[in-house]
Amino acid sequence: MSNKMKLKALVLVGVVLSVTACESTNPYTGESKTSNTTTGALIGAAAGAAIGVASSSKSDRGKGALIGAASGATLGGGIGYYMDAQAKKLEQELRSTGISVTRSGDNIILNMPNSITFDVDQTELNNTAKRALFNVATVVNEYDETNINVLGYTDSSGSDSYNLRLSEVRAGVVGQFLVDNKVKSTRVKTIGKGEASPIASNSTAAGRAQNRRVEIVLSPMSK
């Protein structure tokens, strides 16, 4: 690729990134972070350029890299932008509810502590949880290109079989609430994890409280 063509490629990719790049602010910490859209666009641009070179004749490789980089940046940033926008909307709607919104790759994880969802050994959602989940349903209905996995977790108190069943029921109750609020049932999958995957020590009351939770994991349908 000539130096002139390289410069054109960099300029074009820069234009694409200037459209997709942005920063978002975590409402819980006030911390600004670079959007995942930018990362996706960069990866897409690199991959697109490589494909463009590989699929072009020797004389047209510079042009192929240029087109591939631009296309890759746009596609790579698309999913990131969609999930960034959804996460930002969820952060706004769930502010001060105690539900955390975390990006993990292309996924969004909503962590719902048991203290704001279910009373001890209960499977009926309290009013605080219903209000929060209504807001979740509103957002995911707007962003309807995501799958919704609802995962129930318990602490290690009680038998394995009891904890597994309790986590299944609680995940099912949360999933059904979303469906009852117009979320398509085909998007929702509920899974009971029992006492698996603790996020804190089960040897303390505070740790057990953290482990009793429901997580809602949103992922792009294109994955």
Domains and CATH numbers, the chain: 3-84 (no CATH), 94-220 (3.30.1330.60)
Provide the b/e sequence for 174-211 (b: ≥16 CB within 10 Å). Answer: bbbbbbebebeeebbebbbbbbeebeeeeeeeeebebb
Give residue 24's pLDDT band: very low, low, confident or very high (50, 70, 90). Answer: very low
Contact 44, 76 (CB under 8 A): yes
Distance CA 154, CA 33 (A): 32
Q: In terms of Cα–Cα distance, which of 6, 14, 2, 3 is closest to 41?
A: 14
Average pLDDT, whole number, for the chain?
79
Distance CA 208, CA 113 (A): 11
The CA distance from 194 to 52, in Å, is 48
Q: In what order do the strands lie in the sheet with 188-192?
A: 100-104, 107-113, 213-220, 146-153, 188-192
Summarised one tens digit per residue, pLDDT across range 145-175 is 999 999 999 999 999 999 999 999 999 999 9
How far apart, in whole angstroms, are the C-alpha atoms of residue 208 and residue 198?
Answer: 8
pTM comes to: 0.68
* Contact between residue 194 and residue 167 where contact means Cβ atoms under 8 Å apart: yes
Residue-level pLDDT at 127: 92
**For residue 221, what is the enclosing H or E element?**
none
In sequence order, what are the residues at sequence separation of 6 or more whose Cβ sits closer than 8 angstroms to the Cβ of residue 27?
Answer: 91, 92, 95
Which residue did the predictor score with more confidence, 121 or 133? 133
